[in-house]
Chains A and B, each alone.
Chain A
């Protein structure tokens, strides 16, 4: 059984590696060695033209890869950001060289930490419970479509 599932996984990986853009399904998506899970976005206040996207990225490969670009249908200007608290000061910065996903490791983009920043949104996000599409581009694994679930602020 174990061998079969490993083979199946290897097969899936091989197919994924051959396919430049994988299918967008809310939940779990693979591109190359990268598995993307739980893509979601927090509903922004009325009038706000920014929002953030979050997810879990697992690198099933041995080598590090790098999330270098993100797009989203709700924003013409999407950036990869980090956020840290320095005492009681919130510091946010664009990761101009992208976000490294070390080999065999999982990186979680979450509130108060790494996030995909949707800037200059021309209109509001879909309502809570809705979804919107985006893409993620990894340096080695390539580009993949993702679907963000819009969730309530709390």
Chain B
């Protein structure tokens, strides 16, 4: 019950933030949706699984994808990464500089090295971002992402989390999301649009 309450609180908080943003930008005049999405997600500066940090300011001109997950995830995260890998193969050269940032919601267990090895299974364009425990709630709030720790009987835990992939254009603006279980055709169409590749 406590877990449920926690998640509800997160959801309520997320809804409140979105509502507040809508009001703020709605009152500010024209281009409401553009201004709202421009705020979505960024800016961020987080530790990278390749060492060093990734600063969203350096991503200017390059579309990118963002996913919230954790490596102790048996299904949704590996499936999403596998689907993105297939997408990379299909997109070919157009996706040469298209990075997918995997932001861990489990920085307690997902270290730089661990996340690096995990993502290298797929493709070198996957980059893990490891927020500190203090940075995690902030980055999640900026992406309107939710996460929640769920204890298991062995004293360990698993995580509930937002499972969509966010797509950002070269201006760092959110342009689309890819849902878990969304048909491949729809996902590929969004990715091709983002990268300016004609849809066959």
**Chain A interface (Cβ within 8 Å of chain B)?**
42, 44-52, 77, 79, 81, 83, 85, 88-94, 96, 111-112, 115, 117-120, 153-154
A117 to B33 Cα, complex, angstroms: 41
Give chain B residues whose Cβ lies under 8 Å from the Cβ of A115.
Answer: 74-75
Give chain A residues whose Cβ lies under 8 Å from the Cβ of B82.
Answer: 153-154
B side interface size, CB within 8 A: 36
Partner of A45, one of B76, B122, B152, B164: B122
- B68 to chain A minimum Cβ distance, whole angstroms, is 10
Q: Is the CB of A94 within 8 A of B153?
A: yes
- A149 to chain B minimum Cβ distance, whole angstroms, is 17
Give chain A residues whose Cβ lies under 8 Å from the Cβ of B179.
Answer: 88
A27 to B72 Cα, complex, angstroms: 28
Answer whether residue B97 sits at the interface, using C-beta atoms and an 8 A cutoff: no
Give chain A residues whose Cβ lies under 8 Å from the Cβ of B120.
Answer: 46
Q: If the complex has contacts A89-B163, A90-B161, A154-B86, are A45 and B181 also in contact, measured as CB distance less than 8 A?
A: no
- A30 to chain B minimum Cβ distance, whole angstroms, is 27
Q: Is the CB of B118 within 8 A of A83?
A: no
| 28 A–B contacts, CB within 8 A, in A order | A45-B71, A45-B78, A45-B118, A45-B122, A47-B117, A47-B121, A48-B71, A48-B72, A83-B75, A85-B163, A88-B177, A88-B179, A89-B160, A91-B150, A92-B75, A92-B150, A92-B158, A93-B158, A94-B150, A96-B153, A111-B75, A112-B75, A112-B180, A112-B181, A115-B74, A115-B75, A117-B74, A154-B79
Answer whether residue B162 sits at the interface, using C-beta atoms and an 8 A cutoff: yes
**Chain B interface (Cβ within 8 Å of chain A)?**
71-76, 78-79, 81-83, 86, 114, 117-122, 146, 150, 152-154, 156, 158-164, 177, 179-181
Q: Is the CB of B86 within 8 A of A88?
A: no
Give chain A residues whose Cβ lies under 8 Å from the Cβ of B163.
Answer: 85, 88-90
Q: Is the CB of B180 within 8 A of A88?
A: yes
Q: Is the CB of A92 within 8 A of B160?
A: yes
- B183 to chain A minimum Cβ distance, whole angstroms, is 14
Partner of A90, one of B83, B114, B180: B180
- A105 to chain B minimum Cβ distance, whole angstroms, is 23
Give chain B residues whose Cβ lies under 8 Å from the Cβ of A93.
Answer: 150, 158
Q: Is the CB of B117 within 8 A of A50?
A: no
Q: Is the CB of B76 within 8 A of A83?
A: yes
Give chain A residues whose Cβ lies under 8 Å from the Cβ of B71.
Answer: 45, 47-48, 50
Q: Is the CB of A45 within 8 A of B81?
A: yes
Give chain A residues whose Cβ lies under 8 Å from the Cβ of B75.
Answer: 42, 52, 83, 92, 111-112, 115
